[in-house]
A and B are shown apart, each in its own frame.
Chain A
């Protein structure tokens, strides 16, 4: 069966570097980071971390959703809002943007040929709050939406109901590769003709309970200076900065995009995945799993590695992770004499975990459409092991033709996505 071509026709973003496509684009061009000190950390001597990447104009820390503050243009009815985790609100707003951006009417969103794949790790904070309350006052005085707002899957429950989605839907839970998997399987559904349109909706909370546990595994940078805290490929990188927010992409078949007369951002050429089978939390030191994911992406799309002219790296600014990805890129590209531009936009966005791949797919979509290649910020002393790479330090005003986006999650789950300029 012939595969259908798949295009990205809508993007919505709520993130530390901007709450819409325009804001994100400006931050990428100027390499302006989205980090700030998170007040609850400052008040707590036990929390060694200071910085987060949190969407501005949102105050969603309260366990009572009726206290939440969010931009005025999004009016969310109480019965919709009550089912949300904090990141549910981010993603809902991003979804509104993506629908408007793609020019979708209500009937385009709600039909049996349109589905949604989601990625989030749920809300540890709300789980903690609900369990504490349950032990304190008993289950009959806990919120009836306590479960649907908190457990992983919350994005699917809420968005499917809230937007009356009737097609395929499920959630992905492969940590930092989650939304990569969501994009990949959504691509498959459209390419195989199972759906005409898919939403990919990803998000994460950014609060005490979502961030601080990562310090226990020594994964976060404890720097207070944003420029030093997130600096992928730098010799002094020492961990990532946690990001929360939401990103939503609209994927459509070629026929559907043409029927609606939409102007796509990019073509999603396809994807590849593989697993390290190595360690619960650390990527394979030689990047073996990632090599295979990139190879699979190239094989399945017929793209030669030499055609790829930009790589949006997974590089989160950890010592081991960046090094492992470097090994993989060395095998796939350098060893064959290819030197695509490379950057990690996590230097300014921070690491959005389940959100990461969808956020980076949004970044690539915006960059390819608008005609720039985002640079890799915050490198003061390039780690010598990356010297052979073409890591661009500034955003260049030229669009990539074929871009690769990598994501790797706990357990060694690797996803590589390939995008083509239209």
Chain B
């Protein structure tokens, strides 16, 4: 949110712990440095103090045995999956952040604060009006399945966050996928072709949920096809138990084509890199891509790997 006016209005309505005494009371079970930072922030408004305040508040709600994880894990640590917090604890922590820093966080904003980094940058932006990271929206598997043309057993996307420029998603290889019985006999390996399909699906989701600016028309979600992929390298074999961490970025759009770059990592290790993934989409009201000639889609050397 870069509009200062909007931000100010929100802050004006925000709760602020009225006095130093009530701030001390609010933060009484937080680490000492958190209280000091919050008191200092009151005086200076120095936003570099925000991380220690936010981390201390989160820590105060954690079971002691996951406290170390919070400090060692960095910004990617997720509140629910890594720290065992539930949504009620999130609300408790957020209320304390609101009271301590005088910000106000809406319910829909809360849903997108999944990691320590999300919360830190969100608060930073609230306080300064300057985004340190582009806003993103989180989607669960149910939300994904509700709008995707691909469905189980051919949906390889179990959660996603979408931004203006791209999307991140993940898929856990459960080992229950039927094709693993034959790929390979006695040695289940997730097929590289399906990893590309998974990246393609993430790109489809991005197109539907948050179409790139260049797209003027409304995209018809029922007709988006995988038309090509260039410069693919596979670096790591992926097996049941691995979580495919996917990332795609919009490279360019020339209707009816949208071109993305994509990569998959597992536990931080590079697994697949695809320099260009091309999707063809149909605008609402336009003729079906399947009608007449499909030359427009097959002009190059692209295969239709994984086409739905």
Number of interface residues, chain A, beta carbon within 8 A: 12
Across the interface, do A141 and B15 meet the contact criterion of CB distance under 8 Å?
Answer: yes
Across the interface, do B15 and A78 meet the contact criterion of CB distance under 8 Å?
Answer: no
User: Closest approach, in angstroms, between the C-beta of A157 and any C-beta of chain B?
Assistant: 12
- Interface residue ranges of A127-172 to B (CB < 8 Å): 137-138, 140-141, 143-145
Is B99 in contact with chain A by the CB < 8 A criterion?
yes
Known: A77-B63, A141-B15, A141-B95. A66 touches B88 (CB 8 A): no
Q: Which chain A residues lie closer than 8 Å to B86 at the CB level?
A: 79
The CA-CA distance from A137 to B92 in the complex, in Å, is 15
Give a binary string over B88-101; 1 marks a CB under 8 Å from any A CB, 0 the rest: 11011001001100
Give a binary string over B25-46; 1 marks a CB under 8 Å from any A CB, 0 the rest: 0000100000000000000000
The CA-CA distance from A79 to B90 in the complex, in Å, is 11
The CA-CA distance from A250 to B63 in the complex, in Å, is 31
User: Closest approach, in angstroms, between the C-beta of B5 and any C-beta of chain A?
Assistant: 22
The CA-CA distance from A138 to B99 in the complex, in Å, is 12
Question: B15, B63, B88, B98: which contacts A145 (Cβ < 8 A)?
Answer: B88
The CA-CA distance from A325 to B185 in the complex, in Å, is 80
Question: B15, B89, B95, B98: which contacts A79 (Cβ < 8 A)?
Answer: B89
Is B139 in contact with chain A by the CB < 8 A criterion?
no
Is B138 in contact with chain A by the CB < 8 A criterion?
no
The CA-CA distance from A141 to B97 in the complex, in Å, is 11
Is B171 in contact with chain A by the CB < 8 A criterion?
no
The CA-CA distance from A66 to B30 in the complex, in Å, is 13
Across the interface, do A143 and B92 meet the contact criterion of CB distance under 8 Å?
Answer: yes
Across the interface, do B63 and A78 meet the contact criterion of CB distance under 8 Å?
Answer: yes
Q: Which chain A residues lie closer than 8 Å to B63 at the CB level?
A: 77-78
Q: Which chain A residues lie closer than 8 Å to B29 at the CB level?
A: 66
The CA-CA distance from A78 to B15 in the complex, in Å, is 25
- Interface residue ranges of B72-102 to A (CB < 8 Å): 86, 88-89, 91-92, 95, 98-99
Closest B residue to A77 by beta carbon equals B63
The CA-CA distance from A82 to B29 in the complex, in Å, is 15
Q: Which chain A residues lie closer than 8 Å to B99 at the CB level?
A: 141
Question: A66, A78, A144: which contacts B91 (Cβ < 8 A)?
Answer: A144
The CA-CA distance from A186 to B74 in the complex, in Å, is 51
Q: Which chain B residues lie closer than 8 Å to A79 at the CB level?
A: 86, 88-89
Interface centre among A138, A143, A144 (most CB of B within 10 A): A144
The CA-CA distance from A143 to B61 in the complex, in Å, is 14
The CA-CA distance from A79 to B15 in the complex, in Å, is 25
Q: Which chain A residues lie closer than 8 Å to B61 at the CB level?
A: 78
Q: Which chain B residues lie closer than 8 Å to A78 at the CB level?
A: 61, 63
- Interface residue ranges of A81-132 to B (CB < 8 Å): 82
The CA-CA distance from A116 to B293 in the complex, in Å, is 68
User: Closest approach, in angstroms, between the C-beta of B189 and any C-beta of chain A?
Assistant: 38
- Interface residue ranges of A220-274 to B (CB < 8 Å): none
Q: Which chain B residues lie closer than 8 Å to A140 at the CB level?
A: 15, 95
Q: Which chain A residues lie closer than 8 Å to B88 at the CB level?
A: 79, 82, 144-145
The CA-CA distance from A78 to B93 in the complex, in Å, is 13
23 pairs, CB–CB < 8 Å, chain A vs chain B: A66-B29, A77-B63, A78-B61, A78-B63, A79-B86, A79-B88, A79-B89, A82-B88, A82-B92, A137-B15, A138-B15, A140-B15, A140-B95, A141-B15, A141-B95, A141-B98, A141-B99, A143-B92, A144-B88, A144-B91, A144-B92, A144-B95, A145-B88
Q: Which residues of B contact A (CB under 8 A)?
A: 15, 29, 61, 63, 86, 88-89, 91-92, 95, 98-99
